[in-house]
Structure 1
Amino acid sequence: MPETAPFGARVNRMFEKYGPLCAGIDPHSSTLQSWGLEDDPEGLERFSMAMVEAVAGAVGFVKPQSAFYERFGSKGVAVLEKTVAAAREAGVQVVLDVKRGDIGSTMQAYAEAYLDPSSPLAVDAITVSPFLGVGSLQPAFDLALAHNKGVFVLARTSNPEGKRVQLARKRDGQTVAQAVIDEVATHNGDTDPMGSFGVVVGATIGPCVSADDARLSESTYGITHTSVKHRDAAHDLAHLNGPILVPGMGAQGGKPGDLARVLGPARDQAIPTYSRQISREGPSPARLREAVTRLQDEVRRATGQ
């Protein structure tokens, strides 16, 4: 069924109704085993359906990690389709973590796979990689706009390998990460309450740089976008006007208090994602629900939602 409101408006609605928490659905083999399940498509399905049932009505967002389904081939992808359908039937916004990124007709095909409502894998939003150029993602932006879907572009991730690329600087001193954020922001403009195009910013990176602190003296340093204090973590999100997916919460080290440090004034646009900190409470539905409720309260306070 086609969506009648843009993804950004639905995000805002979920913030108001439930809060910003996103429950990650990451069926690691170790997690399945800890639940007493076999590491096979049947165990995958039992885990996924239990997670959806436990969080439905308590969160506005879930984020299945596609790779953990794809490892089982067509049977795993069939389970992913069922998981997506169950979550969307429950009224939860599904952000599929697929990190696709390519050019031309290949990117168009990826966009059709996940953002075209006629696809069995159609979700509310996907993650994409911009490192063939943000412009290469235009087919995903176009299809998302046409069908009221969302796109989250990797900008500043927590993994140590990403730092070398994402914090590389252009001649004007601007980081690659900031260039990605700025380009995504152009797709949102002044859309109210927010645009449908977001970025991914890890919870465990360095602090946000406010607009007032984001400039060096050109005469001294020859660059104009960051302060000396925060040169290793420079990113300014104040102008994004879109949702910010924040992985790395919980088991990976991110805490609610980090959201203000990492996102600054844009923390009220955050969708903090917890995966293992929730799933480790399973398979008990009551304990899963209790974990979700507790974390929802914590991130609501942290983001001001």
Structure 2
Amino acid sequence: MSTVGTSGPGGAVRTFGARLAAAMETHGPLCVGIDPHPALLAAWGLPDDVSGLRAFSRTVLDAVGGHVAALKPQSALFERHGSAGIAVLEELIAAARATETLVILDAKRGDIGSTMAAYADAYLRDGSSLAVDALTVSPYLGFGSLAPAVEAAAASGRGLFVLALTSNPEGAEVQHARDGGGVAVAARIAAYAGELNAREVAVSGAAMGSVGLVVGATTGAAAHHLGIDLTAVKGPLLAPGVGAQGAGPTELRGVFGDARGTVLASSSRGVLAAGPDRASLLAAARSAADQARSALS
């Protein structure tokens, strides 16, 4: 599998959408979250400090790196340990790159102007110690505020996952709201992503674009009720909430319908609960990937 910066035919940088599609085909449509919650550290017999954070992260990577489509570290759970925690995140990103496993950083960045450009520089620029394959971003300062990240990702062959329909109850206050023309905010976000992907796919010929959406696997029929055609997004759909958070095959089919082929199911606790034994973690990840493939096929 190609990593960031690897060129495709004609010397062009291979897009994130193309690399993710290949990884999902090889390993199954599963992204394993690396979420070092204090309770999980304790359950693994690890201290809630930087040494525990490092041991936890390295154990997960050693167990599943090279065997799953992607890994998704939760940035906040590294940040809570200060600069030393960020250093562990940098180590994890570098080590994951060596296993040729895609890294999606769950940081939900969103700002305007030079501040958004600085976030893009940190996470989407070649040479940055925090550079990842894709970044989660928030469009709720207006989708246009994400332009620096969109441009940086496109230039370096990286991707974005834009928050669209999240599973937290509070999200509906904004995401389900409708404008004067009756179009839901989430539907507008999906349409913007679809436009970017349509242009990319037309040029690259890839199966899907590199601007994905975050759509909670437990959001039920919300997309349908809000008039969102997820098949028109033509990009990956990151689906948190699979497994321990309640979404199984029936829920996945109901939420994503005909767009199931572009869904990257995300499982954190459902896999991590099998640790700290590495063989058990890998077995849990493979089982989750097989279940996701079956549910989404």
Which of 95, 100, 105 lines up with 1:86 in the alignment?
95
Letter in 2 for 1:284: D
What residue in structure 2 maps to residue 205 of structure 1?
Answer: 219
Shift of 1:292: 0.7
What are the Cα deviations for residues 69-100 of structure 1, in whole angstroms up to 9, with x where unaligned?
00011000000001111111101100000000
Corresponding residue for residue 218 of structure 1: none
Equivalences for residues 52-67 of structure 1 within 5 A: 52-67=61-76
2:46 corresponds to which of 24, 37, 42: 37
More helix by share: 2
For 1:169 and 1:208, the matched residues in 2 are separated by: 13
Q: Is the 8 A contact 1:101 1:131 kept in 2?
A: yes
Work out the CA distance in 2 between the residues paired with 1:208 and 1:43. 39
TM (normalized to structure 2)?
0.93
Corresponding letter in the other structure for 2:92 = T
Cα deviation 1:187-214 (Å, max 9, x = unaligned): 11161211111100001002265xxxxx
Three-state SS of the structure 1 residue aligned to 2:103 is strand
CA offset digits 1:117-150 (Å, max 9, x no partner): 1100000000000000000000000000000000
User: How much does 1:254 deviate?
Assistant: 1.6
What's 1:11 paired with?
20
Q: CA deviation at 1:251?
A: 1.8
Residue of structure 2 equivalent to 1:225: none
Match of 2:185 among 176, 185, 202: 176
Contact 1:208 1:263 in 2 (8 A): no
Structure 2: distance between partners of 1:62 and 1:257: 24
Who is 2:10 aligned against?
none
Residue by residue over 1:202-255, the C-alpha shift from the partner in whole angstroms, topping out at 9 and shown as x without a partner, is 01002265xxxxxxxxxxxxxxxxxxxx53x54321111100111111222122
Please say which structure displays the higher CA radius of gyration: 1
Pairing 1:258–2:251 present: yes
Matched residues in 1 for 2:22 and 2:218: separation? 27
Aligned length: 283
Q: 5 Å matches for 1:151-300?
A: 151-189=160-198, 191=201, 192-207=206-221, 231=225, 234-300=227-293
Q: Give distance in 2, aligned partners of 1:85 and 1:246.
A: 25
Please report the RMSD computed on the Cα atoms of aligned residues, expressed in angstroms: 1.2
Contact kept? 2:220, 2:251, Cα under 8 Å: no
Q: Secondary structure at the match of 1:53?
A: helix
Runs (5+) with no aligned partner, structure 1:
210-229
Contact 1:249–1:272 at 8 Å: present in 2 too? yes
TM-score by length of 1: 0.90
Q: Secondary structure at the match of 2:233?
A: coil
Cα deviation per residue 1:26-67 (whole Å; 9 max; x = unaligned)? 000000000000000000000000001111232010000000
Read off the aligned partner of 2:6 and give its amino acid letter: E
Q: Residues 11-36 of structure 1, C-alpha deviation per residue, up to 9 Å, x if partnerless?
A: 11112111110000000000000000
Please give the alpha-carbon distance, in whole angstroms, between the structure 1 residues aligned to 2:6 and 2:177. 39
In 2, distance between residues paired with 1:159 and 1:15?
27
Q: Please give the secondary structure, in 2, of the residue aligned with 1:189.
A: helix
* Paired residues of 2:163 and 2:213 also in contact (CA < 8 A): yes
Using the TM superposition, give the Cα deviation of residue 286 of structure 1 relative to its aligned residue in structure 2, in angstroms: 1.2
> 1:151-208, CA deviations, whole angstroms, 9 ceiling, x for partnerless residues?
0100000000001110001122221101100011111116121111110000100226
Q: Distance in 2 between matches of 1:155 and 1:199?
A: 6
